[in-house]
Amino acid sequence: MPELVYAVVTDAAVNIAELSKLVTNPHSGAVVTFCGDVRNHDGGKEVASLLYEIHPSAPEQIRLITEALIGQFDVEKVAVAHRFGDVAIGETAFAVAVSAPHRQAAFDACSAIVDEVKAKLPIWKHQKFTDGSDEWVNCA
């Protein structure tokens, strides 16, 4: 039975190495991670700053979304974190770590978690561009 060892929405820095350590265990031959960092461009424009705003249910929702999904995979442990607030260019905004006995299950679960959280977590990204324009994206 997969164990969700960590699921947070936080304004603190997200460290993928720490998430990886949380899922590492002697039953697993694979640890797969995803680290989504804030890039300096989007849609052909240069990004100056980025702010994530969350719905009050987001901390509970990240846990529920992940728990509902991980039972479909032969994995051991899962850790997931998403930032909110101001996130600087180059910093991690979203990270997932999955351990499993075999690599394919870890890859499949990690990819599915990333897709599901991005699709369902109530979080909104406000990008400001260097040309003075801005946009809201990723409205769940």
- Does residue 75 fall inside a structural domain? yes
pLDDT band at 140 (very low <50, low <70, confident <90, very high): very low
CA 1 from centroid of its chain's CA atoms: 22
**Domain boundaries, position 17:** 3-132
Question: What are the C-alpha distances in Å from 30 to residues 24, 33, 114, 139?
Answer: 8, 10, 18, 33
Residue 139: inside a domain: no
Distance set, CA 4 to CA 61, 62, 86, 102, 106 (Å)? 13, 11, 27, 18, 14
What is the CATH classification number for the domain harbouring 38? 3.90.1170.40
Asked whether residue 74 carries a pLDDT value surpassing 60, the answer given is yes
The 3-state DSSP class for residue 61 equals helix
Mean predicted confidence (pLDDT) in 55-80: 98
Split into its structural domains, the chain has a count of 1
What's the pTM?
A: 0.95
In a domain, 138, yes or no: no
Asked if residue 140 is part of any domain, the answer here is: no
